[in-house]
Chains A and B, each alone.
Chain A
Amino acid sequence: MRLKHLALGLAVVTAAPAAAATAQAADGLYVPLFTYRTGPYAGSGIPVSNGLADYLNMLNARDGGIGGVPIIVDECETGYDTKKGVECYDSVKGKNPVIINPFSTGITLQLIPKAAVDKVPILSMAYGLSASADGNLFPWIFNPPDTYWDGAAAFIRHAADVEGGFDKLKGKTIGLVHLDAPYGREPIPLLQALAKDYGFTLKLYPVPGAQMQNQTALWLDVRRDRPDWIYLQGWGAMNPTAIKEAAKIGFPMNRLVGVWWSGSDDDARPAGAAAKGYSSLDINAVGSNFPAIQDIIKYVVDKGKSQVASKDKVGENFYDRGVMMAVLSAEAIRTAQKLTGKKQVTGEDVRRGLESLNITAAGWKALGLEGFAGPIHLSCADHNGHDAVALVQWDGTKWEKQPGMIEPIKDKVLPLIQSAAEDYVKANAGWPKRTEACDKSS
């Protein structure tokens, strides 16, 4: 009896991926998307997942894929759970994925060592391991356009600009309200280094995951310490609670700045008018007023092929974030096709494509996304770009882009990335040396 059950179970488990594998025997670019629309962090996950999938489906409907080869879009639900993410990875890696978007820092950390072995490029757009920006040590990992350290540095530059110069930061107090997890703790080393250089005091306010919606005591601490600025590195339900609590203690909203993952419409909306003036760093434009996004509405949303709840969710900040992830993936594939002359590219080709990725302002315009994001230029050594970031401000009902872009403080960030990458490799004895050649164009 036990044998029979075991055999039955094995049969189902072994047969299922095999059946799925035969289903995609036809030509196509297999792009698995690790998304999440369930679980406690679904609030941040849903809009990004929608934008990501919808853009790729739009390319299929409008252009018949990339370079005439259809994209096989395969979503795998992770629920922001590392365990399920690894399961997703194991189930897709046999199907020759050309690029993987893990969409979770935790899952990315798992995949970093595996990517080089399985020859799959990982695109962790503006999340994941900051140190993986170093292309010489992490040839398979890409995290454009900015690391969390760039974000924190850009915030400091913004604070300095408002205060009237970096020398004015001396003696100021800057607080970091962060999720008490690796993601939230990421900016700490950079802010500590900058605090030393510019003479401001750094105060840390950690929010444990289980306390996400219960932050009263922490904001009392803020009230006692009276920081001049606060940088918010939160995720999911932590963001709206933090913004509400900040309003409650009367913290000046224009001195509260969030990282780009704290800038969802759902983050600011519960606080409504009280959040007016709250700003968030941003790496993409907001709104649906772009030809490409209109095409998404025309080819995907209106045809009922999208998961969005209503059409007005298209063009929200996080939806556009997902679109940007999709654009980078698609353009990397397109670049790979140009480089190799093949239509049906592999993961190895797309890795080269990512290293040669170059989307200029004109390039964005050609994509029907003029001014959607800054120019993206990656190279063999630099897998990130450390580009200037935008600032968006909540006007009570929606995000308004602020004029100008903020450059991260590159001369402070880059050495730190270098040393962190070396530390990572040192800690991982036997880390493979880069053997992949660099392309001329990268």
Chain B
Amino acid sequence: MLYREVGQYKTSYAADMAIFPILQDRIGLAAILLIAFVVIPLVGHDFLLNTVMIPFLIFTLAAIGLNLLTGYTGLLSLGTGGFMGVGAYACLKLTTIFPHVNIVIWVLASGLFSAAVGVLFGLPSLRIKGFYLAVATLAAQFFLEWCFIRIPWLYNYSVSGAIEVPLRTLMGIPVTGPTATSLTRYLIVLSIVVVMTWVASNLVHGRIGRTWMAVRDMDLAAELVGIRLLRAKLLAFAVSSFYCGVAGAMMVFLWYGGAEAEVFAIDQSFLVLFMVIIGGLGTLTGSFFGAALIYILPIVLREIPAALGLPVHPSTVEQLTFVIVGVLIIVFLALEPNGLARLWQIGKQKLRVWPFPY
């Protein structure tokens, strides 16, 4: 009763094909945006903004990127960490060479570099499939990691080998660097993520997205109906790496404020893959849910014993967190292998018929 589309008539094709055809969805979205843009900045303290929201949004973007490749196009990739690194290092080089250009532009532009690298390593995807491809993308991951350590030009010959984010301002307000407040950084990250999610949503609902899904469901059949496989797959690699690259640039510039190459190690690739799978392959909302579960859950778990006043040593808490996250992953998969996004769908269905069982 609360959530139903009955009586919401459409008078044009455009309205019928809108991404949110139902009024309640639009209200819900508006409410979420209101919370994200207004309520959280008002009530949030540094811990919430810097440790929870900013990383959550950045990981969401990376998860959306990987989801475009793995969930929509069916190409399993384990090189996400490397592609994120390309974005971060490209952004550093760009802002070093052209320090006066707005940093937000460079954050977005750095995605182009990782898109190019992604296309390069995506080339074998035409022949190699499934887990074989996943291992092939590991070649990209390890090779890129090696480059981040071995090419001093990438980190401006800094003696420590780490990258440090310089101070950059936007209309006089510090955006990156140590003096930038977490609120400024949060709002920029949020804006970028909202816009890029909107773009991604349009992409997957349009011709390109349908091409990708056709390739995912069966690439041979897709080829027979006239989809050019190489182009579709490389485009998926490019767009996906673009998203990951922007996420990587944001990670270093708007979250960490400095990084070692180790940040973009293989663990990062796995983490983002967890988010995509737990959230739901081939759904954008799933990327949000997955990032929230995988990233925020351990933080909450770690805080529970302290909040309850239990005398448990932090290292034990950490170990228990591992055990609990491991068990939860298996339980979630057993309960709902299609991911959290599917649970969300079921929830909506329940709301639709509420208060009746069906």
Contacts and interface: CB of A to CB of B under 8 A. Distances in A.
Interface of A: 1-3, 6, 9-10, 12-17, 19-20, 23, 35-38, 49, 75-77, 79, 82-83, 86-87, 90-91, 93-94, 105-106, 109-110, 112-114, 116-117, 129-131, 180-182, 185-186, 189, 208-210, 307, 420, 423-424, 427-432
Nearest to B40: A10
Given A9-B300, A38-B318, A116-B178, A181 B260 contact: yes
- 6 tightest A-B contacts by CB? A430-B167, A16-B303, A113-B178, A37-B315, A182-B161, A77-B314
A189 B257 CA distance: 25
A76 B28 CA distance: 38
A19 B258 contact: no
A130 B47 contact: no
B351 A106 contact: no
Contact of A79 (B256, B299, B313, B318): B318
A16 B296 contact: no
A82 B256 contact: yes
A209 B166 CA distance: 28
Given A106-B260, A113-B164, A182-B260, A13 B48 contact: yes
B99 interface: yes
A420 B159 contact: yes
Given A114-B178, A430-B167, A12 B51 contact: no
A110 B32 contact: no
Nearest to B266: A210
B213 interface: no
A381 to B, nearest CB: 20
A326 to B, nearest CB: 17
A91 B45 contact: no
B299 A13 contact: yes
A366 B349 CA distance: 73
B159 A423 contact: yes
Given A36-B315, A79-B318, A432-B179, 4 more contacts: A86-B255, A109-B259, A181-B262, A424-B164
B149 interface: yes
A98 B46 CA distance: 19
In terms of DSSP, what is the predominant structure of the interface of chain B? helix
Nearest to A149: B159
Contact of A307 (B40, B47, B313): B313
A180 B303 contact: no
A327 B292 CA distance: 40
A77 B317 contact: yes
Given A129-B160, A427-B158, A14 B43 contact: yes
Contact of A430 (B32, B179, B314): B179
Given A75-B314, A429-B99, A82 B307 contact: no
Contacts of A79: 318
Contact of A2 (B28, B51, B178): B28
A336 B53 CA distance: 37
Contact of B159 (A131, A429, A430): A131
Given A17-B303, A116-B178, A130-B159, A181 B261 contact: yes
Contact of A94 (B47, B52, B299): B47
A200 B270 CA distance: 44
A87 B166 CA distance: 21
Nearest to B257: A113
B158 A429 contact: no
A110 B306 contact: no
Nearest to B142: A210
A7 B162 CA distance: 38
Contacts of B149: 180-181, 185
A189 B303 CA distance: 42
A110 B163 CA distance: 10
A209 B265 contact: yes
Contacts of A185: 149, 161
Given A12-B303, A427-B156, A77 B318 contact: yes
A181 to B, nearest CB: 6
Nearest to B174: A430
Nearest to A19: B307
A38 B46 contact: no
Nearest to A75: B314
Residue of A3, A10, A12 with most chain B CB atoms under a 10 A cut-off: A10
Contacts of B161: 181-182, 185-186
Interface in B237-296: 255-263, 265-266, 292, 296
A109 B48 contact: no
A82 B259 CA distance: 8
A106 B178 CA distance: 16
Contact of B257 (A36, A91, A110, A209): A110
